[in-house]
Structure 1
Amino acid sequence: MDRIQAMQIFVQVVTQGSYSRAATLMGVPRAAATQAVQQLEARLGVRLLNRTTRHVSLTLDGDLYFQRCQVILGDLEDAESTFRAGRSLPKGRLRVDLPGSLGRLLVIPALPDFSRRYPDITLELGIRDRPVDLAREGVDCVLRAGDISDTSLVCRPIGVLEQITAASPDYLKRHGTPATPQDTAGHRMVGYPSSRTGRPYELEFVEGGILTQIAAPTSITINDAGAYIAAGVAGFGLVQGPRYHLDPLIASGQMVEVLPGVRPPAMPLSVLYPPGRHRLPRLRVFIDWLCATLAPSAVAVAAE
């Protein structure tokens, strides 16, 4: 058995959590799957898997090797897909990282359309609001809202998301409604921490082209965008977020927009991917689809 096939079997054993299921998927006897992993361990000189009668789990070395195998096998599939592109629809595995609220509210509801167009592309989605190392974690592209600081990645702008300030009716009944940005200093806000500093972002308002930042006190700080908004609904204080997320809550009466004439700055929305990856047909069609799908939610669509 060649090394590539052994890697494929190892990845399937980890993914399926079973030698038997991996062997069935790969079309080999179970004994051959077991031997393939053992040969990899002997060649590497490390144990890759912890084995019990019920399941298998990765060792620390195994976890590192598993990540590298995913990248290597993905690159191999990418090389072949590039030359198949003109003869068939794109196919293969695509790993995409999405922010929580964007993924849950905008992208995932639209994904059936993408799957109908490209049935042979298998999507693996990571939903998180923290930065991700694309190379180390084998991610093909990420969707990000906010300013982009990583210059090692290619950035394709989609547009900007309009943001608003809001609070629950109960909070405003207890604390009153601020009439100016400066009034918010006497209020409470829900904290959302910066990934760089760990400190909560300040409230931001743009008036006459001038940015004003207000550091209101916090009772709670949350590092998940969906939970951050939920804390606002629960009455913990003022929140600022994308209109697409807050508008349904305002329409249902769970939130009220505050200072509608002085809003936060719009938030850039971009797709990021490693240099050279855009040549891959499956990634190219996904990014094109994603941009077209999200453009209506952006108040201005940037040029590519």
Structure 2
Amino acid sequence: MDRFISMQAFTRVVDVGSFARAAESLDLPKATLTRMIQNLETHLGVKLLHRTTRRISVTTEGAAYYERCVRILADVDEAEQSLSHHNNNPRGTLRVDTISSLAQMVLLPELPAFFTAYPDLKLELTTNGKPIDLLQEGVDVVLRVGALVDESMVARRIGQLKLAIYASPIYLRQHGTPRTMAELQAHRCINYVSHRTGREVTWDLTRGEQRHELLLDSVLATNDSDVYLGSALQGLGLAYLSCALAEPYVRSGRLVELMTDWQGESLPISAMYPQNRHLSAKVRIFVNWAAELFARHPHFGEPARQAA
């Protein structure tokens, strides 16, 4: 029995909570994986997992062994990476989840250079954008917009997403242009539904010491950013859009920014990964690379801090 491979198999089963999903992620037959865990339990002389037809749970001994395995496997991974061009040439698959707009506008244009720099790294990029269990889903790092609520995650703020109110000339010709807060609240709008809460997102606007948090009546609400943008372009109502997403349509005349004396919200963009895992070289390199991309992006970079 290869104890190292067995430890990898055991931690994967615990992470995903399923023999079938673990076997798929390790590219092993389920029967082979089951036999490996059974042999490991026999070798250790303890039961690591409770198995029923519906669920898998970890025994007390299994939980303690899992924590040690995680540290050992992380140390081995770090040792291997440290011998590979001083930790700058990571290997293997890196699984990243983000939202479509960040992938399209920030990551994809720079991926050719990324793969030139790290030719032995494969990137598995998904755009679910929903709250996920990184360990169960086998995801290494996520990029998210907005306030962070999961304290089990390490989060590094890497940028910001600025919002403003926009409408198409089609809509404005039919309904007029709002210029005051009272006029704004009388207009039709399109609302965005948060993946995290399932609720329509409020519009936060500030002007000096004044602040308004609005939830306007909507003719349409959606949780899809492409549908949201498309609805605004079709003239269905006012929209509270990312400035980065709206900018090319403003240049082409298909969208107009409104209420420019009021400042829209700026939401943090964060890279997150599990805090109970050693930060592998490939995750560290990706997060540093992404942070650099966002820092120099004209729309997503943080404002420069003034010297004291």
The TM-score by the shorter chain falls in which range? 0.7 to 0.9
Determine whether 1:193 maps to 2:193: yes
Contact 1:129 1:224 in 2 (8 A): no
Task: Name which of structure 1's ranges 252-261 and 166-175 shifts more when overlaid on structure 2.
Answer: 252-261
Q: Which residue of 1 aligns with 2:157?
A: 157
Contact 2:71 2:278 in 1 (8 A): no
**SS of aligned partner of 1:186:** coil
Q: Which residue of 2 aligns with 1:84?
A: 80
Q: Which residue of 2 aligns with 1:249?
A: 249
Determine whether 1:98 maps to 2:98: yes
Identity %: 32
**SS of aligned partner of 1:109:** helix
Q: Which residue of 2 aligns with 1:261?
A: 261
**SS of aligned partner of 1:122:** strand
Aligned residues: 264
- Structure 1 residue 85: deviation in Å? 2.4
Cα-to-partner distance string for 1:94-149 (whole Å, 9 max, x where unaligned): 11111121112221221122111111111111102321211221111111111111
- Structure 1 residue 210: deviation in Å? 3.1
Q: Which residue of 2 aligns with 1:286?
A: 286
Q: Which residue of 1 aligns with 2:271?
A: 271
Classify 1:38/1:196 alpha carbon distance in 2 versus 1 (closer, same or farther; 3 Å).
closer
Q: TM-score, structure 2 length as denominator?
A: 0.74
What do you get for the CA RMSD once the two structures are aligned? Answer: 3.4
**SS of aligned partner of 1:123:** strand
Which one-letter code corresponds to 1:300 in the other structure? E
Determine whether 1:300 maps to 2:302: yes
**SS of aligned partner of 2:302:** coil
Cα-to-partner distance string for 1:241-296 (whole Å, 9 max, x where unaligned): 22111101111122111112212111111111111546311110100000001112
1:100-249 equivalences under 5 Å are 100-195=100-195, 197-249=197-249
Classify 1:129/1:86 alpha carbon distance in 2 versus 1 (closer, same or farther; 3 Å).
closer
Contact 1:97 1:141 in 2 (8 A): yes
Contact 1:190 1:232 in 2 (8 A): yes
Classify 1:204/1:12 alpha carbon distance in 2 versus 1 (closer, same or farther; 3 Å).
closer
Q: Which residue of 1 aligns with 2:50?
A: none
